Amino acid sequence: MAAVEHAQPDLAASRRLSVVRRYIAEHVVAVSAAGLVLACAAFTGTLWGDDGSLWGVGPVAVFSQGRWWTPLTAIFVPDSAVDTILTILLALTGFAYAERLLGRIRLLGVTLVVALAGNLVATAIHALLWTVSDLRPVEAAETPVLDPATAMVGALMAASALASALWRRRIRVVGFAVLAMFALYAGDTDAWYRLVAAALGLLVGLWLVRGTPRRSWHRSSTRETRSITALVVAVTGLGPLAAVLAGGGRGPLSFAVSFFTQYDENLIDLCATRYSPLCDHQLAVVVTRGVGPGLMALVPVALLLVAALGLRRGRRSALVLAVVVEALIGVLAIWSVIAGTVSVGPWGDPTWLEYGLWAVAAIGVSLAMACALVVLRRFFPVRADRRAVLWFTGTVSATLAACAATHLVAESIFRQTYVQRVSVTDLLVETLRRFVPPSFLRNLGQPPYPTHGAALLIYQWVGVLFWAVFIVAMLRMYRFPQHAVVADDERYRRLLRRGGGTLGFMGTWRGNDHWYTADGTGAVAFRRVGDVALAIADPLCVPGQRDQTVRAFVDHCADQGWSPAFYSIHDEFLPIFREMGWAYTSVGEETVMVLAELTLTGKAWQKVRQPMTRAERDGFVALWTRWDDLTADQIAQIREIDEQWVADKALPELGFTLGSIEEAKDPDVALVLAVDPEERIQVVTSWMPSWRSGRRVGWTLDYMRRRVDGPNGLMEFVIVKTALRAKDDGLEVVSLSGAPLASKPGGAAESDRTLLASLLEQVAAALEPAYGFASLFRFKSKFRPEYRTLYLAYSDPVKLPGIGIAVLRAYLSEPSARELVAVARAGYGGAR
């Protein structure tokens, strides 16, 4: 036993060593670059704190002192120990990823070209700008630049052109956002040189992929749009904070930092020579400064970061918070300009360009961000339920009242510690001001304030306590589930397990409402679009109560003033609608594999059997799993595949009866992945369960994605493997789901052709170039399925236009005007 226990740590260590060896073998250039940077730092002494200016690049070094070698040496020698560590980390991560994309030889060439060109171009721009007096706040021409990260950042931007759509967008958006943040706010010379190298790297990348058919613009999924928006909001907060940590910042936008500090040093200097009413407030802030007021000054930054966390989750409350904070910052900047409190020289002064840049930073950026969030509001629909809102409101209100009362009472007791005699009105006004960041109070006068003792302590910290509670309450509200929806969903699922057909599980998806019969034995899942209630799939009811369930739901819609329509129902419900005098039309075809008839023998199955055999021979496996059981690496791969699929579409991701990655996360949903021998996921499919009498009887294909550069035939491999396992498990059917807006030849009688049918055909034609419903339908025919027509039933032909528009809006999920135009253009192109 002791020998076994001793062998286990040795085996783990051996595996770790094997991972390291494989990493080094795959990233030789990146690892070598990290070692070279460390060696250069040690050789030049910058690793120990010595001055390495001799190796740095800059206008003086190149043009005045003739150190022509510095554009090259500056990309190998870091300027400090911290810079060495950060550069090594960048080399082993981002630069290593660039090596995977470009290859070793091409990476070396691109890195040298981008680094040398970047340093030379940046040096020339630096020299030119230094000759313009209006830009002299930018660091001096004598300041040398020692930054190996310049070369690596440029190479990574060049390599991004070869990345997938998901990572190409992320590298560029995140990279340029961070680089611009440090350049424009902190303003150190290294940041500007890195930004220039990144821009040149982007151009080199475009040159590398010249001639390759690629769209210049790629659509983002809802999830990615949320992530990017959250990132930009976070950067607008972290930019000023980075400048604060850098000692106030030297960049052209660093004037905006004054909104996030306790007091304005420039104004304090001016007050020493010239008095204005603003000096009273600045003096009060200086006298009462401390950790508490410092944290209060950073409240806008903290709120923007909290908002960014919520935006990433699609929270509407986070959207409101971000819009309010960004708008207030912009309005404050406008008021500062009007009141003349901006601490720069007047127009015509040599600092006039700084004045304009300050206006862009403090006014333009904030207001533009607020407007952008309003435009993108449809991507953040997740609202907290009523209970969560009441809890948040109660908590914040109670905290505000308690803090205000504490401050008012304490300051009344310790009036003698105030700088001058204080009245009740002064105490009330100052109590309200304690919850406002100091920069927002510049132009509002200054009541008396305490100078020492308990009064000063409460004065400094009461606002911090309130905002701390506010932030914690906001973060907790993000986690509140929508209890009413969850309870309703569980009730629907219980009925679904009794029997809901192959498509009934779609009723559990987010965005659907549920209606129940009076006795609770029947239910209808529906999506309300305007005044149209689109019932989804077959109603849940026992066979003998179909008529009563349908009629009761129709009566419910009449009471609510809605126009009911039943979407994606099967043949067995059509007699009910005929008896009611309703009309119906085909809206798609469901393809169902009857497992008892599945043999995979004969010529008819050859197109399926060959891909499966080839995939098994090449070492592919079909991994059966659930979302909660996936590893972090597997989730990242699935998201990359999904984002690539969305980015390659000219139209937005559809919903309604077409599931996405979010629906694949349901615990009842199975995932079947095609994984290659290198454990790289090539195909992702999700399967919805169908039950009868509490027993699972089948699976229904929903979400299906594949890598654009993956081998052909893997989708057939996954579907057949799923069907064979389902057959072994004793299930009855595997549905390949419905093909929306598609029909088999002769599938609809002429008597059923209506205005709505024509409209749906036009919608299908518009969406076909982007989504290929017809080609998908033909693909599914390989599996020799049984065809089951799906219908839309409706009561009043007068309401057909509204129903058709409701169907389109349900699929596009609150389409924007641009998306509707895209549909029209796609339809026009498809018609040709």
- Separation between Cα atoms, residue 649 and residue 166, nearest integer Å: 13
Contact 723, 598 (CB under 8 A): yes
Among 56-70, 156-170, 708-722, 723-737, whose mean pLDDT is lowest?
56-70
Q: What is the pLDDT of residue 38?
A: 92
Q: Is residue 83 part of a domain?
A: yes
Domain endpoint, select from 186, 210, 234: 210
Q: Is residue 324 part of a domain?
A: no
- 614-630 pLDDT, tens digit per residue, is 998 889 999 999 999 99
**Residues 6 or more apart whose Cβ sits within 8 Å of residue 20:** none
Q: How many residues does the chain have?
A: 832
**Residues 6 or more apart whose Cβ sits within 8 Å of residue 621:** 674, 675
What is the mean pLDDT of the segment spanning 782-789? 86
- What band does 828 get if pLDDT is binned at 50, 70 and 90? very low
**Residues 6 or more apart whose Cβ sits within 8 Å of residue 471:** 302, 303, 306
Backbone angles phi, psi at 568, to 5 degrees: 65, 50
What is the mean pLDDT of the segment spanning 556-584? 86
Question: How much is the mean pLDDT over the chain?
Answer: 78
Q: Is residue 824 part of a domain?
A: no
Q: Which residue has the tokens 């226990």?
A: 5
What is the DSSP-derived secondary structure letter of residue 595?
G
For residue 230, pLDDT beyond 80: yes
pTM for the model:
0.62
Contact 554, 520 (CB under 8 A): no
For residue 202, pLDDT beyond 70: yes
Q: Which residue has the tokens 């400094």?
A: 460
For residue 155, pLDDT beyond 80: yes
Q: Is residue 732 part of a domain?
A: no
Q: Is residue 399 part of a domain?
A: yes
**Residues 6 or more apart whose Cβ sits within 8 Å of residue 237:** 300, 301, 302, 303, 304, 305, 308
Contact 244, 425 (CB under 8 A): no
Report the 10 Å Cβ neighbour count for 78.
26
What is the mean pLDDT of the segment spanning 501-519? 89
Q: Is residue 29 part of a domain?
A: yes
Q: Is residue 98 part of a domain?
A: yes
- Greatest CA span in the chain, whole angstroms? 101
CA 693 vs CA 238, 356, 485, 568: distances in Å: 56, 72, 25, 22
Domain endpoint, select from 156, 179, 210: 210
- 439-451 pLDDT, tens digit per residue, is 666 666 566 666 6
CA 590 vs CA 10, 496, 737: distances in Å: 55, 19, 5
Domain endpoint, select from 210, 245, 270: 210
Q: What is the pLDDT of residue 342?
A: 53
Q: Is residue 727 part of a domain?
A: no
What is the mean pLDDT of the segment spanning 294-320? 85
Segments forming the whole domain that contains residue 393: 384-478
Q: What is the pLDDT of residue 550?
A: 92
- Separation between Cα atoms, residue 507 and residue 657, nearest integer Å: 9
What the block records as the tokens of 127 is 């020299």
Count of structural domains, the chain = 2
Concatenated DSSP letters for 155-218?
A: HHHHHGGGS-HHHHHHHHHHHHHHHHHIIIII--HHHHHHHHHHHHHHHHHHHHTTTS---S--
* Interaxial angle between packed helices 386-413 and 424-433, expressed in degrees from 0 to 180 and rounded to the nearest 10: 140
Q: What is the pLDDT of residue 261?
A: 56
Q: Which residue has the tokens 């090539």?
A: 682
- Separation between Cα atoms, residue 616 and residue 610, nearest integer Å: 10
